[in-house]
C-alpha cells in the first residue's frame, strides 16, 4: 500500500457544550483528503512552540484555514483594540507552525486567515476594511447573509505573470469568492504578490526564498471546489508539495 502524506490542519478555539474545543470545518478536511489525496491531521489550538515543532516534524505540510476570527492587532505591531472575535491561541499556534515549517523545509499553505497569518509571520501588517476609508467594493457579503450567499460573494482577481500561482493555475483573470474583512497592508519581507483584485487588495501570495513552497490565497478554495478548476489546482498542488516533502 502506498503511503499518503500527512497534512496538519490548524484548528480554531470554539465553545462546545460550555467549554473550549478545537474545531476545523469539515470542508477543509474533505478538500485535503479528496482533492489533495492526503491525510488531514487536526492540530489542537494551543500556543506552544515545542508542541508545534514536534507536530511539524511528523507531518509533510501545514494548512492554515480560514476563520471568522480576526488576528489581534498587537501581533503585527498595530495599536488599538481591533475588531473581535479574536482567537488568541490560534494566533500563537499559527506563528509557531509557520516558523517551524520554514525551518524544517515543510510546505505551508494558507486560506483567507491563513494568508494573513503568513503575512504576519514574515513581518507584514494588516488592515481592516471596516476601519478607515470606505473601500471601492466590499470583500465580504452583507451582514446577515446566509452561508450560500456569503460564499457566493465574488469578484475578479488578476494572477501575476511568472509566479508560482501562474504555473499552477495559468495567467489571466479569476472569479474568486471573497469572505474577509482583514487584508494585507504591508507585505511581509520575502513574500511575493501572486494575485490582486482590481482595488489593489492582495488575493494570493507566496514566499520567494524558502526551501519548500509557501503559498496562500485570500479566497476560499475549499468551498465547492469541484466547480472551479483553479480551486482544484490549489488542492492538487498542495498534495504534490506534501508528497515531495514526504519523499
Q: What is the rounded CA–CA span in Å between residue 110 and residue 32?
A: 13
For helices 49-58 and 88-103, the axis angle rounded to 10 degrees is 50
Q: Which bin fits 2, alpha (ψ -120 to 50), beta or left (φ > 0)?
A: beta
For residue 12, indicate whether it is catalytic: no
Nearest to 75 by CA among 64, 65, 89: 89
For residue 229, indicate whether it is catalytic: no
Nearest to 126 by CA among 85, 72, 189, 196: 72
Task: Compute the half-sphere exposure of residue 193: CA atoms within 13 Å on the CB side of its CA.
Answer: 16
Q: What is the rounded CA–CA span in Å between residue 13 and residue 50?
A: 19
Question: Is residue 154 within 8 Å of residue 140, measured between CB atoms?
Answer: no
Q: Which run of H or E residues covers position 127?
A: strand 126-128
For residue 148, indicate whether it is catalytic: no
Catalytic residue among 35, 155, 222, 230: 222
Cell numbers describing residue 52: 508545534
Catalytic residue among 96, 112, 117, 129: 112
Supply the residues annotated as catalytic.
112, 220, 222
Amino acid at each position: 500500500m502506498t503511503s499518503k502524506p500527512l497534512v496538519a490542519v490548524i484548528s480554531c478555539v470554539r465553545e462546545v457544550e460550555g467549554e473550549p474545543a478545537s474545531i476545523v470545518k469539515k470542508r477543509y478536511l474533505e478538500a485535503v483528503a479528496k482533492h489533495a489525496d492526503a491525510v488531514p491531521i487536526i492540530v489542537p489550538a494551543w500556543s506552544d512552540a515545542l508542541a508545534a515543532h514536534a507536530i511539524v516534524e511528523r507531518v509533510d505540510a501545514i494548512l492554515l484555514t480560514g476563520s471568522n476570527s480576526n488576528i489581534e492587532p498587537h501581533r503585527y505591531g498595530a495599536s488599538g483594540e481591533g475588531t473581535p472575535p479574536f482567537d488568541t491561541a490560534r494566533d500563537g499556534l499559527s506563528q509557531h507552525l509557520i516558523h517551524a515549517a520554514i525551518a524544517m523545509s515543510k510546505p505551508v499553505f494558507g486560506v483567507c486567515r491563513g494568508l494573513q497569518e503568513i503575512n504576519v509571520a514574515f513581518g507584514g501588517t494588516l488592515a481592516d476594511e471596516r476601519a478607515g476609508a470606505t473601500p471601492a467594493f466590499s470583500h465580504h457579503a452583507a451582514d446577515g447573509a446566509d452561508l450560500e450567499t456569503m460564499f457566493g460573494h465574488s469578484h475578479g482577481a488578476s494572477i501575476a505573470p511568472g509566479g508560482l500561482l501562474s504555473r499552477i493555475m495559468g495567467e489571466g483573470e479569476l472569479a474568486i469568492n471573497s469572505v474577509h474583512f482583514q487584508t494585507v497592508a504591508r507585505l511581509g519581507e520575502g513574500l511575493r504578490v501572486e494575485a490582486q483584485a482590481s482595488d489593489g487588495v492582495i488575493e494570493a501570495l507566496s514566499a520567494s526564498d524558502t526551501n519548500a513552497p509557501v503559498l496562500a490565497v485570500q479566497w476560499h478554495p475549499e468551498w465547492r471546489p469541484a466547480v472551479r478548476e483553479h480551486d482544484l489546482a490549489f488542492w492538487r498542488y498542495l498534495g504534490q508539495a506534501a508528497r515531495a516533502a514526504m519523499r
